Amino acid sequence: MEDGDQIIKKFMYMNRKAPYGTIYAWESLEVVLIAAAFDQDISLVFADDGVYQLMDGQNTEEVGMKNFSKTYSALGDYDIKKIYIEQESLEERGLSLGDLQDLKYEDEDDDWAEKDSIILISRAELAKVIDEQDVVFSF
């Protein structure tokens, strides 16, 4: 899609790994924060063990790693409004949306009303959304 000289593509960032066992989750978040400056159509996906990245009440004191979980709540300020959570991944791990952080954004087209960024999506529906993307990064 072209908007004047500016190319706007659909970028998807797929997060599939638990937050602290490896560095993928943290470095993926670093990519997303940089990407936000490029005015592209961004969506994030949390699937498989990636759903653990958004668990509420994380405490990393004992493992000695930086607790970056608070950063996710800032995504709305970076204009990232589409955060897909795969339903089956939650269920397979005995989790529900209530176990995750509540992520919001302020809608500039609706008097800055606070809205949910999180979209619960089935595996089958997610496949369709992936298919619509121009670029899919998997971390």
Partner 1 sequence: MKYGILVNEGPYTHQASDSALAFTKAALEKGHEIFRVFFYHDGVNNGTSLAIPPQDDRHIPNQWSELAKEHNIDLVLCVAAAQRRGLLDESEAKRNSKAASNMIEGFRISGLGQLIEAGIQGDRMVVFGD
For partner 1, give the closer residue by CB, 17 or 81.
17
C-alpha–C-alpha distance, residues 75 and 80, integer Å: 5
| Amino acid at the residue 122 | S
**What are 120's two structure tokens?**
């619960």
For partner 1, give the closer residue by CB, 23 or 113.
23
When asked if residue 71 is in the footprint of partner 1 (CB under 8 A), the reply is no
Sign (positive or negative) of CA dihedral 130, 126, 99, 92: negative
Residues from 3 through 22 that contact partner 1 (CB under 8 A): 7, 9, 11
For partner 1, give the closer residue by CB, 14 or 118.
14
When asked if residue 65 is in the footprint of partner 1 (CB under 8 A), the reply is no
Element at 121 (helix H, strand E):
strand 118-121
When asked if residue 92 is in the footprint of partner 1 (CB under 8 A), the reply is no
Q: How many residues bind partner 1 (CB under 8 A)?
A: 19
C-alpha–C-alpha distance, residues 71 and 137, integer Å: 19
Out of 15, 29, 37, 75, name the contact with partner 1 by CB under 8 A.
Answer: 37
Out of 23, 63, 113, 127, name the contact with partner 1 by CB under 8 A.
Answer: 23
The residues near 38 (Cβ < 8 Å, ≥ 6 apart) are none
